Amino acid sequence: MSDLRIHNVVIHALVKEQHQKIQPSQLRRAVLDPNHEAVGKTVSDVVSIYGTRNNSAHYGIFESGEGRGSFPNAFDQYAAFPQPSDNQFLELTRTAMQRLYDKASANHASSGGYLLFADYSNAQGRYFLIAMIKQKPGITLTENLEPTELMQLDLTKLNQAARINFSRLSEYRSATQDERQELNYLSFVSPGSTKTASGYFVTALGCSQGAAAAQATKSLICEARKFFTDNDALRANKEAFNNSLMEYLKAKESDKTSVKLSEVEHIARSHIPSQLAEQAETIAGELIAHLNSESCGVPSEFPVSTSALKRFTHISGQSNYWKMTFDRLALGEDESAEVYYDRAASRLVLRNIPTSMRGLIEEALAANEEE
């Protein structure tokens, strides 16, 4: 990741085996050298998988009431420094580690791991990352060329992680209360909810999953459509995919259940041309990674915004004498469309009028003739 610039980085260890009593944490006393090749690769690898299919992110803000804990306030103080020192960085990480220790010790089913803390910048801005990394067994060769087992960091999957966007946090602070309803400045990766063994990580850092349903709904519809439009091989299936996506969102709104990017992925895969079958998993994965990225900010799961969905599914208008609302999918410039728009004459033609409505219209016309 050539545009990655590491301002500060350290790794601590939260020592706890699942269903075992927690042990004292192992804390480094000094930051790591960001210019060290292995250090840079570790941070780069973690950043590169954040928000991918198996590491999809929820978006939100810090808790404001009970459950907030000490970390959010400590981070606010840290973010106020123009150029935080090594000690100020380490102090923030120690605050986080103490919170993680407290929450993990109270959760018998929880487990620890290595905690990577990094303050870094890339093309998208400046971030503060906290990621829990586990070990996995590997194989190496001895000097006598004999295979032997070793333990190494698993940098292919994040056990848990959180990331704070400095610029979005600043934007949130200066926003009005109404504007804040649709703003997020942090995200977190967690395989379970706050009620599960893994949830202690999220609660320890005071993370709260934000609704931001309107922006998430809008971004999903616009970005998914754009993804199909911009791909030459997918463009012909754009409308079919969009129709399926809208039907899915309507169903979620009706059932009052959450949209899941994993389900959107299945919809996308069903509209990938058969000649691209071998690439379908990669293409669908790229779509989900794009939607879940920091730039799009579509959470892995979120409620549908009725108002946002309506802007994409309905067109409304009125004059002094009439009022009309119709589904966008019914609109077309072909005379066979349910709602036919004659651009040249600037008129709308409604087709397939329900029998009951035709009866009311004809009754009204008959009454007008009698007057």
Q: 193: pLDDT confidence band, cut at 50, 70 and 90? A: very low
As a whole number, mean pLDDT of residues 205-218 equals: 80
- On the question of pLDDT at 302 being above 90, the answer is no
Strand, coil or helix: 103: helix
Read off the pTM: 0.71
* Secondary structure letter of residue 117 according to DSSP: E
CA 205 to chain CA centroid, nearest Å: 18
Q: 195: pLDDT confidence band, cut at 50, 70 and 90? A: very low
Q: In this structure, what token pair is assigned to residue 93? A: 């990480």
pLDDT (0 to 100) of residue 228? 93
Looking at the DSSP bridge assignments, the partners of residue 165 are 127
Write the pLDDT tens digit of every residue in 78-124.
999 999 999 999 999 999 999 999 999 988 778 888 999 999 999 88
Distance of alpha carbon 136 from alpha carbon 295, whole angstroms: 32
Q: Which residues of 126-151 are buried (b: 16+ CB within 10 A; e: fewer)?
A: bbbbbbbbbeeeeeeeeeeeeeeeee
Q: Say which amino acid occupies 45.
A: D
Q: What is the CB neighbour count within 10 angstroms for residue 93? A: 26
* Secondary structure letter of residue 305 according to DSSP: P
- Domain borders along the chain are 5-209, 213-308, 314-370
pLDDT (0 to 100) of residue 191? 62
**Which segment, 81-95, 197-211, 293-307, is predicted with the most confidence on average?**
81-95
- On the question of pLDDT at 194 being above 70, the answer is no
Q: Say which amino acid occupies 23.
A: Q
Contact (Cβ atoms closer than 8 angstroms) between residue 187 and residue 60: yes
pLDDT (0 to 100) of residue 214? 82
**Which segment, 93-97, 257-261, 291-295, is predicted with the most confidence on average?**
93-97
Distance of alpha carbon 101 from alpha carbon 99, whole angstroms: 5
Looking at 123-189, which runs of residues are DSSP E strands? Answer: 125-133, 135-141, 147-153, 160-165, 186-189
pLDDT (0 to 100) of residue 300? 84
> How many helices (DSSP H) and strands (DSSP E) are in the chain?
12, 16
Q: 338: pLDDT confidence band, cut at 50, 70 and 90? A: confident
Q: Say which amino acid occupies 59.
A: Y
pLDDT (0 to 100) of residue 334? 86
Distance of alpha carbon 221 from alpha carbon 213, whole angstroms: 12
48: CB partners within 8 A, 6+ apart: 1
Q: Which residues of 3-13 are buried (b: 16+ CB within 10 A; e: fewer)?
A: ebebbbbbbbb
- On the question of pLDDT at 202 being above 50, the answer is yes
Contact (Cβ atoms closer than 8 angstroms) between residue 182 and residue 215: yes
As a whole number, mean pLDDT of residues 181-200 equals: 69
If one compares 111 and 8, the residue with the highest pLDDT of the two is 8
Q: In this structure, what token pair is assigned to residue 191? A: 């395989």
Least confident of 18-32, 142-156, 229-243: 142-156
CA nearest neighbour of 127 among 218, 47, 41, 30? 47
Distance of alpha carbon 336 from alpha carbon 243, whole angstroms: 18
**What percentage of the chain carries pLDDT values higher than 70?**
93
Distance of alpha carbon 132 from alpha carbon 114, whole angstroms: 6
Q: In this structure, what token pair is assigned to residue 311? A: 């802007």
As a whole number, mean pLDDT of residues 308-316 equals: 83
Q: 192: pLDDT confidence band, cut at 50, 70 and 90? A: low
Residue 115: CA count within 13 A, CB half-sphere: 30
Strand-strand pairing, 331-332 and 339-342: parallel
Q: 197: pLDDT confidence band, cut at 50, 70 and 90? A: very low
Distance of alpha carbon 115 from alpha carbon 154, whole angstroms: 12
Q: Which helix (H) or strand (E) holds 266?
A: helix 261-270
Tell me what the pLDDT averaged over the chain comes to.
87
Write the pLDDT tens digit of every residue in 14-67.
998 888 899 999 999 999 999 999 999 999 999 988 877 777 888 888 988 778
